[in-house]
Structures are given as C-alpha cells and as structure tokens.
Amino acid sequence: MPYDAYLTLRSLDAGYGRTRVLEGVDLSIGKGEFVALLGASGCGKTTLLRTIAGFALPSAGSICVGDRDLTRLPPDKRGMAMVFQSYALWPHMTAARNIGYGLRLKGWRREAIAARVAEMEALLGLEGLGGRKPSELSGGQRQRVALGRALAVDPDILLLDEPLSNLDARIRLTVRHEIRALQQRLGITTIHVTHDREEAMVMADRIVILNKGRIAQLGTPQAIYTRPASAFVAAFMGAENVVQLNATCSANRVDIAEGPHNRAASLTLGLPAPRSGRLEARFRSEQLQLSRLGDEATDDTSCVELIGRVEAVVYPGGQWRHTVRIGKGSVLVDAAEALPPGSDVLVRVPTSGLFLFAAPADTPSGPPSAADGPSPVRDRLTA
Ligand SMILES: Nc1ncnc2c1ncn2[C@@H]1O[C@H](COP(=O)(O)OP(=O)(O)OP(=O)(O)O)[C@@H](O)[C@H]1O
C-alpha cells in the first residue's frame, strides 16, 4: 500500500554524550502506517524511538510531522504517546487512574475523563478491571492498561518500545494480533520497536532494519525477506548458512566456478548479480534438496550444488535438521528424510533461495587454494 510521507526524519544523528548512536537516519512514514524497527540489541532502536518522542534531542537533523517541525519541541507538544517496555504504570494508582493519567495532565474534566477511560477499557477488553492496581493484573492486562493510557490522549503517532517482551510466548502471539487489529481499526500511525523478526514480519506494513545506528534496509516484510540488500540483512532475516564461491557475473547471470566443495553452475538471478570474483552465498536451511552423493536425480546446473558430509542430525519437528560440514564450515539443511552422520551428501540450493554478495575484502580471492582445505570429494566428482 503506498503511503504519503507523514512523519519525516532527515539526517538524524543522536547519542549520549560523546557516544554517537544514530547516524544520518532518513526515514519517511505514512499516515496510518505500522512500521517496525528491527535490529540486534544495542543497534539504537530505543534511542531512535526516544528521539522521535522527544525524550532525547538529536545532535543533527530534523523530525517533522506533516509541515510541523518538531525537532526541538518537548514530548508533550508532539502529539505522540509511547508505551514502554516496562509499561511504566503508576503502582499506587488503579488501572482506570493510570489510563486517565494523561487526560488529567491535559486538564480534562472528571466526567470527560471517566467517559474516555470507560471507552478505552471497552476497546481493550479491560471492563471490570478498572479498580485494580497494576500488581493485581496479569502481564497482558498491564500491557493493555499501558496501551489504554497511550491511546486515551488520542495521539497522532503511537510509539511502542518492545511492549510484548515481558509477556510469555503464548500470550505474546495473541497480543501481537490484538495490537495490529486495533492499530488498523484506529488507523493510527505506529512505530514498534522489536528484536523479534517474526513479530516485525507479522505486524508491520514496513520494516526498518537498523545496524549500528544506520538504516540497513527499509521495505515490506516480503521484500526484506526475499530481497535482502546486504549480507547483514540476509543473515538477520534467517539466511544464516554461508559459503564462499568464485564466480563470473554479468547483468543477472552468474557462472559459478567449480570449487573444492561445489560444482560449476550457471545461474540466472531475478536480481542484478554482484560483481565477479569471490562471492558470499547465503541461504536458509529450508527449501534445499539433500541427497546422498551419487544418488542425485539429474545434473542440475541451475542451482548451487555443494558437497559435504553429514555431521549430525536432529528432529526439531516437521523436518530433519542436518548439520553438513562443507570445507571448514558447516551449514544447516532441513529435509523430510534423515541421512545418518557420516553420509557424503549433495546440497542443492535453488536460485530462488540464494542470496549472493561480494565477499568481504579480507577473504582470499582467486581460485580455490589450499586455504580452502583438502577436497576429498572433488576427485570423486571430477572422476
Ligand atoms: N543513557 C545512556 N547513556 C549512554 N549510552 C547509552 C544510554 N542508553 C543507551 N546507550 C547505548 O546506546 C546504544 C544503543 O542503545 P539502544 O537502547 O538504543 O539500543 P536497542 O537497539 O534499543 O537495544 P535493545 O534491543 O537491547 O533494547 C547502546 O550501545 C547502548 O549501550
């Protein structure tokens, strides 16, 4: 769904004292859009959210909502409300008083506050619980009170800082769905911080992947999952298997040279190919083909074929997960049938699940060398 820019961050830098955390963040979020900020611990997600909220001031750049420049405004003048990871409820106040807290600060009349609190309680399924203190509520109910307090003031933008991380796994799945449904019903622009990939995927219209204070990629969940822009994003989105290959590339064609642990292949990618040379190939453990070496059905040069040996096999549910040693490294391969440890195997990686990037500069280039280790299977392959 296309969105017109509503919240716009331009060249935002922020940090703590001399520690720079965010660098040159440019981001446009549409009205009514749900955006997830996803990244590893310490990458700056909370700092970005706090800077947008006004709890931290940027050292450079600007924050605008529509035509309004909010960069130097205090938090309460920004039309935003934040739900904190800890919920930050007042322990001595009832749920109802917590929900009405922001309205009292705004000077609303008592009857108007009571009506709005009742509305929030109904919206969030908290009827009958308004008289309880936070200590008398479950984690999920506390989380909803915090959400009610944020929504009661009718903010233009809702900021959620890992609000599900204190809930147990099963409740988290339900609350995830509830928050998304509520957000869509209210049409409220929302930014949600999480380090849970699946949570970001199922809740957000678009995902921002942050890496060391910079945006590594911004896109729909599907775009980021199927077309990661860098090796970092591919790894973060689950393509954690990695092997190095040598290839000659042009436009979207990639000719993989035979190596000590891979066969030659000619691939046509759906994406522009990286430049020729040493490549880092990344792929997920699912949607691969695993067969005993020599048992494979046909020669298939349209996928990457890796040669290795099964080291271990476990059953996490659904499929058998094999640890396959390939040269000095190993990859995880899921398959319907288990092949026992010690089996020499062929792993086929289809182009649809293959992500190719230029290998980092410190990796040796050129043809496979002794550095790639001995290649017992190569002789068998070329024999
Ligand atoms: N008050 C502070 N003073 C100094 N450094 C801080 C402060 N708060 C955070 N940092 C540092 O800033 C960096 C970014 O922190 P931030 O909390 O934004 O990360 P995050 O991505 O939200 O992490 P997490 O997922 O663990 O919550 C980290 O290196 C952190 O140590």
Q: Is 213 in the pocket of ligand 1 (CB under 6 A)?
A: no
Q: Is 74 in the pocket of ligand 1 (CB under 6 A)?
A: no
Q: Whose CA is nearest to atom 26 of ligand 1?
A: 41
Helical (H) or strand (E) element with 254 = strand 253-256
Q: Whose CA is nearest to atom 28 of ligand 1?
A: 42
Q: Is 46 in the pocket of ligand 1 (CB under 6 A)?
A: yes
Residue 9 identity: L
Q: Whose CA is nearest to atom 25 of ligand 1?
A: 41
Q: How would you label 277-302 residue by residue, b for 16+ Cβ within 10 Å and e otherwise? A: ebbbbbbbbeebbbbeeeeeeeeeee
Q: Is 18 in the pocket of ligand 1 (CB under 6 A)?
A: no
Alpha-carbon span 332 to 241, nearest angstrom? 7
- From the CA of 194, how far away is ligand 1's center (Å)? 13
Residue 76 identity: D
Report the predicted TM-score, pTM, of the whole model to 2 decimal places: 0.86
Q: Whose CA is nearest to atom 16 of ligand 1?
A: 44
Alpha-carbon span 140 to 124, nearest angstrom? 11
- The pLDDT value recorded for residue 169 is 78
Q: What is the DSSP string of 54-84?
A: TSS--SEEEEEETTEE-TTS-GGGTTEEEE-
- The pLDDT value recorded for residue 380 is 32
The answer to whether ipTM exceeds 0.85 is yes
Q: Whose CA is nearest to atom 1 of ligand 1?
A: 16
Domains of the chain (ranges plus CATH)? 5-228 (3.40.50.300), 239-360+374-382 (2.40.50.140)
Cα angle 191, 196, 199; round to 5: 65
- The pLDDT value recorded for residue 366 is 40
**Mean pLDDT, each 10-residue run in order, the chain (383 residues):** 82 92 95 95 93 94 95 92 86 92 90 91 86 89 89 92 80 84 91 93 96 95 95 94 95 93 91 91 95 78 90 96 95 97 96 92 47 35 29
Out of 37, 45, 166, give the residue to mutate to test ligand 1, the one with the largest number of ligand atoms within 8 Å of its CB: 45
Q: Which atom of ligand 1 is nearest to the CA of 15?
A: 12
Q: Whose CA is nearest to atom 20 of ligand 1?
A: 42
Out of 18, 46, 193, give the residue to mutate to test ligand 1, the one with the largest number of ligand atoms within 8 Å of its CB: 46
Alpha-carbon span 122 to 115, nearest angstrom? 11
pLDDT tens-digit profile of 309-318?
A: 999 999 999 9
- From the CA of 41, how far away is ligand 1's center (Å)? 8
pLDDT tens-digit profile of 262-305?
A: 999 999 988 888 999 999 999 999 989 999 998 776 666 679 99
Look-up: residue for tokens 């720079």? Answer: 20
- From the CA of 320, how far away is ligand 1's center (Å)? 38
- The pLDDT value recorded for residue 362 is 65
- The pLDDT value recorded for residue 339 is 97
| Closest listed residue to residue 310, CA positions, set 283, 335, 281, 279 | 335
Alpha-carbon span 154 to 33, nearest angstrom? 16
